[in-house]
Amino acid sequence: MPGVKDIPYISVLSLFILTNTLTFLFAYTKTTISNAVFSHYIAPVLVAIFAPLFLKEKVTYKVFLSIALSMAGLWIMVKSSDSGVTVSESFSPSSHATGIVSALISGVAYASLIMIVRVYSKRYNQFAMVFIQNIFIVILLTPFVDIFPADKLPVLAVMGGLHSTLAPALYYMGIKHVEAHKAAVLGYIEPVSAVLLGMIILSEYPTIYSLLGGLLILSSGYIVIRGN
């Protein structure tokens, strides 16, 4: 169980989690999918750069190869989603700069929380960390709640159990054994998972470009796992 002296660090982790989520969602409201996703997924690059400095991890050429493959795959996937948006519209400063900056902030927050988790996941039980961080998140968000949505309680319970408890606990459990930069690259599997869940739950079938992009992302994950 984390001691009192470690509580401030976990509270900072909670702040990074909130910043990551809120700025990423805000970016979607201000810019295109490709701008938001590419700006956000600068995180693995940042982790690969700073992990040797702060975590003393060794980064090999395979890591940068996997990042290149992942970003190429992600580009193919999101550009197929943004096929109706022109290049000039996609990068118009008047309408998209705020979203791009917001997504970059999200990526920095994501990279920061990965490195913090890498340190503290080795010391403490993952469920204890999740419990404490969720308390801080509730405290931070409570001032913004006007009416408690009692009718949505079952949905909130599922989200709290899966998204806010089980998912981070499994992530913290895994990052004990995987270096931070490799965990960051494996995070590129997230958009691939979204495509698969869309097929299963929403009957949304991917295009050939999405399949090609997903294959590149999965290949990058394979390189990381083999390198580990």
Give the C-alpha separation, 9 to 2, whole Å: 10
The tally of domains found in the chain comes to: 1
Give the C-alpha separation, 71 to 62, whole Å: 14
pLDDT by residue (tens digit) across 67-77?
Answer: 788 788 777 77
What the block records as the tokens of 124 is 């403490």
pLDDT band at 124 (very low <50, low <70, confident <90, very high): confident
Does the pLDDT at position 198 exceed 90? no
Does the pLDDT at position 165 exceed 90? no
Q: Which of 25-29, 45-49, 143-147 shows the highest mean pLDDT? A: 25-29
pTM over 0.75: no
pLDDT by residue (tens digit) across 107-119?
Answer: 899 888 888 888 7
In our burial notation (b when 16+ CB lie closer than 10 A, e otherwise), range 117-153 reads: bbebbeebebeebbebbbebbeeeeeeeeeeeeeeee
Which range of residues forms the domain containing residue 108?
4-227
Contacts of 183 by beta carbon, 8 Å cutoff, 6+ apart: 47, 114, 118, 171, 174, 175
65: exposed, middle or buried (Cβ count in 10 Å: 0-12, 13-18, 19+):
middle
Q: Are 136 and 14 in contact (CB under 8 A)?
A: yes
